Structure 1
Amino acid sequence: MQAFQVHAFDAPPALTDVPVPRPGPGEVALRIAACGVNFADMLMAQGKYQDTPALPFTLGMEVCGTVAALGPGVTAPAIGTRVSVFGGQGGMAQVAVYDAARCRPVPDAMPDTVAAGFQVAYGTSHLALSHRARLQPGDTLLVLGAAGGVGLTAVEIGHAMGARVIAVARGADKLAVARAAGADHMLDSDAGDLKAQLKALCADIGGVDVVYDPVGGDAFKAALSVCNREARVVIIGFASGEVPQILANLLLVKNITVIGFYWGGYLTFAPQVLSDSLAELMDWYAQGRLRPHIGAVLPLDRANEALAHLADRTATGKIVIVP
């Protein structure tokens, strides 16, 4: 079969012919229907992600597929069951093997492309906003990178939780996507001094109670300048490439809390918290409260193109690979 693999961190990933994997004890083999692409995949390909596997490895953190074979001792999910899995790697392939305990049944009404890109983006935003930031109805939520894979879900979930949402993204097209997801106010990060734009807006509507930041860099600094007292700033990632340095005196004066958040970490120290969050999100989807935005669906032989869209920040919503 074919798999999109990283063989060296100084060379692009490439399609590679590999043996079809067989499930071991406690595992299942999935025939992959779709694989969500995440910013972490790009970092893994460069050897810069905190959980980068040993070389060589197959990219693809989350998938939707059909159970094709069971390993020894496994009785469920049954062969033929459609499931989604966050496996951390292996998804950009025709077949992949995963721990059976990580497989989650997919509702019939949820398309493969949606299910493949649902767990990381929606799970990240929901757990970050509800569990870590304790977002409340009536809070003002500032979302940086608001048209990206996780940022757009933060806009949508923040709106669903009753917050007033300020979306920051690059250009009118991306801001239109954020508006459709529920943003109340839109700011173009390419339209001049972001700090000045935020201060002008907040002079009219009041400051910010929660910041959702997958960008870092100067955007983080600008967001910190408009935080209300006891604001919560959730650090999701650093798409700008710059890890900001925090001036602790600003935190002290306004009693601001800066919160680190890594969704995948909950699999190891609090898996039930993650499972409960995903169960609630599935309920929201079934109720029609969530409308996932798929920005592009690409075949496996165009996976490098998908990574390039993430690198140059031209993607909106989720990019999905269909092998």
Structure 2
Amino acid sequence: MERFFTGIGRGLQLLLAFGLLFWAAMAVHFQLSPPFRIAAIAALAAVALVILFLAGRGKWRGVWRWMGFSAIVIFGWWFTVRPSNDRDWMVEVSRGVTAEEVPEGLLVRNIRNFDWTSETEATPAWYDAVVDPDKITSVDMLLSVWDHPDIAHTLVSFGFEDGQHIVFSAETRKENGESYSTLGGFFRLFELSLIAADERDIVRLRTDLRGEQVGLYPIDITPEQRKTLFMSFIDYGNGLAAQAEWYNTLTTNCTTVPYFLVAKFSDRVTLDRRMMLPGRLPEYLQDLGVLAKGQDMAQVRKRARLGSLGPAVPDGKAFSKQMRRAWATP
């Protein structure tokens, strides 16, 4: 029996060693350019062979030493991989939202309002706006589904007394030439960007140009909670401008960022598996009592779905009002 458990322990030791080396190989793949990548992977392969050789000769202390040495080198390098705000960014994520207090109210900078002509081409435009967070009259969650119904991009839109809407979206901050990679998002491939945008830009891009299924869900929270949530997004954007952060496919993404911002001021939110499946967020929010209380969710989803929004129009307030026509009447 003792030999059995010894064998299990040594098997787990090897599993841990090769798990570490595999993780390191993936990190190297996404972080290093080809000449350095090849050299680093060759070094990892050499370490794997040494560990196999030592294990085959029963020299398990040697295996532990090589594992410890490898871990120090790997994690020592990993912690030198730092996020930056100074890269050759794609134009649509080249500016993150920031804001500052002014005598007239809150000056929100870098609100994106691109005129998209295709999924990847647009006439760039940015503007600043002075808003009063005390005059936020609505908060809407938008879910944009492009493949599996459980997988969606989450956006949060704030409506003001004068009809203006500002949408916040946590996104990968891709450099020119980069493309999205779910796996790469686990290995510090992308920085995180918090985009503030006009609905004519960020919603129409998804409904009309990308052909995604977008749903709009009005959130029932108090005026004070609306203001607090809005200012949480603003503070987060200012924080990112001061210190860049990494996007992470699992822990820091378009859904978890709003979740943790809400969790700072509300004890009603709880960790739920539906946080990992954003397409199921409407049911989660209904369970919290902030969406469509007592209504049939199938009907709510049907009502929420946006079709094609048509050409962008100069009047953003009229665009936003038309976008919400399904919710204008009971």
- Fold equivalence (TM over 0.5): no
TM-score calculated relative to the size of structure 1: 0.21
Q: If you compute each CA radius of gyration, which structure gives the higher value, 1 or 2?
A: 2
TM-score norm. by structure 2 comes to 0.21
